[in-house]
A and B are shown apart, each in its own frame.
Chain A
Amino acid sequence: MRTAPVIQDLLASPRPLSWGRRSQDNLTIVLFLLPGAALFLVFVIYPILQSGYYSLFDWNGFGRAVDFVGLDNYARILTDQVFLKALSHSLVIVALSLTLQLPMALGLAILLGRDLPGRPFFRTVFFMPYVLSEVITAIMWLGLLNPDPDRGFLNALVVLIPGAEAQAWLGDPDKVLMSVFVVLTWKYFGFHMLLFMTGLQNIPVEFEEAARIDGANRRQLLSHVILPLLGSTIRTSAYISVLGSLQQFILVWIMTKGGPVNASEVMSTYMYRFGFVRFWLGYGSAVALVMFLICLTFSLVYQRLAPQREHLGGY
């Protein structure tokens, strides 16, 4: 922004150079934005709009979409028990992430503090699962969660407890969602911990000094200084976590395919099943649009409610 006066000064100067500069700048703007805009329009915006169109058809992907059904696909999605179940599972994962995963990440970030011995080591280890691919994560955990104690390490540990039995972690409809959540937490808590560590680091030491001089004990320091100043980081982390939970796909698909009996079906596995397995492309498009609208609504509400300007802890 600060460059504007200078550019205007140059433009106002009597030298003939100014016109040339202006058109040069405009040319630069167009040429520089063009590749991004083209890719974005062709592979992001146009597909959405086109799917909005196809979602009004009963179309199996072969030939042209001619069987116009209006909003029937949407009506069907919103009354399909399996979709509603998938939606509720996605919301359960959102709720678990917000109430268990994020507090755990925050707790670990606080434990790591500013100067703990071994801090870089722990940070590196905790963040490592985030850089492993979802495929690798899913297959590794498939092994760990195997119902046979001679195959699955978790059950091998469980049967060591007197009276405890091996569990079908992914085969039992009552446990499967929780098991999936454990794997999601294993993979993603490090990312949120990292955000919290950065947020904590950005709190000026002076604030803590001032509170201490005023006689605050450590607990008061945490609840009255640290957490309020972390507000914007916590909100950002929650926002990312909600959007991420709503669109979880690969981990669930590889570990359970949404089963058993839809007990771990989430919105994106539902879309994949109808769009790519059954090839109901019109219906699948409608599911994609519904998911998009859910995420969009959440984003808009979040932006409405979040403070517009963060004065503290927002950097």
Chain B
Amino acid sequence: MASRMAVRSRPWRPNLPAFFRVLTLSIVALIVFVPVAMTVIGGLKTRGEFMTHPYTLPIPPRWENYTRILGMPSFWIMLRNSLIVMLGATGGVVLVCSLAAFVFARLNFRGKPLAFNFFTLGLMFPINIAILPVYLVIRQMGLPNNLLGVIAVQIAFALSGNIMILRGFFMAIPAELQDAAYIDGCTALGFFGHVLLPLARPALSAVAALTMIVSWNDLLVPLVLIDKDSLWTLPLGTMQFQGQYGQDLALVAGFLTLTMIPAIGFYLFAERQIVSGLTAGALKG
């Protein structure tokens, strides 16, 4: 028993001393950091400093870029639009996917495998490929230049993956609970609302966190569906901003930094949920 414990406490390691492992990983980490660090540093310089001393630290830091961007009404409008789309898409995905996933995980009916396969078809047709067909339909429906159209398309293309993720989580909830609820006179709906959803909160927050990131970062759908600048989302605005102020690299860097901060902050806050959602989607689906 003692020797078994000893083996256990010495798990497998690659054939490199830990020091070299950490060194290698640190170099990679540095490479990952460089683009982000350069952007943040650049944003703290004036336009002139950026030209004359592109690679020095911003001492003293200049906040002019930030005050200028934060003083633009368009920045706040884009932020608002991005928030609307993100909250709409996330709420929609969580609601619609948990309803469907519940049926596939917990109820039986004729044609269930067929219906499930139908939903997984979406995995074969990602938005990057479908964008032109989708644009045509949105145009026919009179939904261009409407944030609702963006939200609906984002939800529709998130269905397949998230239904599969949630179905996996829902199936892991013990069947005995459902039996007990039914014996107590609970309907399927009651079981879903009173037992399953509260128990599945970690899964729901994983799906929500993942959808928030995807929606917040999405450029393609708003790029194609929106051309009124009062409806631009942040990614769309970022692209246009770069086109408009491309010569003032310090200002662009400041803008990038400002739009990066929410994403990185949210990532650090919800890393566990994002990671569990992604790995569940990829490896269990």
| Residues in chain A within 8 A of chain B (CB atoms) | 1-4, 6-7, 10, 21, 24-26, 28-29, 31-33, 35-37, 39-40, 42-48, 50-51, 54, 108, 110-118, 122, 124-129, 131-137, 139-141, 143-144, 150-151, 153, 156, 186, 190-191, 194-195, 198-199, 205, 208-209, 212-213, 218-219, 221-222, 226, 232-233, 236-237, 240, 243, 247-250, 254, 268, 271-272, 275-276, 281, 284-285, 287-288, 291-292, 295-296, 299, 315
Contacts and interface: CB of A to CB of B under 8 A. Distances in A.
Interface in B87-122: 95-97, 99-100, 102-103, 106-109, 115, 118-119, 121-122
A47 B100 contact: no
Contact of A268 (B16, B129, B192, B266): B129
Closest 7 CB pairs of A and B: A47-B133, A43-B156, A133-B217, A51-B133, A2-B175, A247-B128, A32-B99
A139 B217 contact: no
B11 A3 contact: no
Contacts, number: 295
Interface in B10-60: 11-16, 18, 21-22, 24-25, 28-29, 31-36, 38-39, 42, 51, 54-55
A128 B152 contact: no
Contacts of B78: none
Contacts of A285: 132-133, 136
Main DSSP-derived SS at the A contact region: helix
Select the residue from B35, B123, B192, B217 with max chain A CB neighbours within 10 A.
Answer: B35
Contacts of B126: 243, 247, 295
B216 to A, nearest CB: 7
B146 interface: no
A132 B159 contact: no
B282 A240 contact: yes
Contact size class for B?
35 or more
Contact of B235 (A118, A135, A153, A275): A135
B54 A140 contact: no
B129 A136 contact: no
B70 interface: no
Nearest to A209: B7
Interface stretch (B61-69, B197-205, B272-280): B272-280
Contacts of A35: 95-96, 99-100
Contacts of B220: 249-250
A46 B119 CA distance: 13
Nearest to B42: A143
B109 A26 contact: yes
Given A31-B99, A50-B137, A218-B12, 6 more contacts: A24-B187, A44-B134, A125-B32, A128-B267, A195-B279, A281-B136
Given A132-B264, A143-B249, A213 B256 contact: no
7 contacts: A28-B188, A33-B99, A47-B134, A133-B217, A133-B219, A153-B34, A295-B124
Contacts of A24: 187-189
Contacts of A190: 32
B153 to A, nearest CB: 5
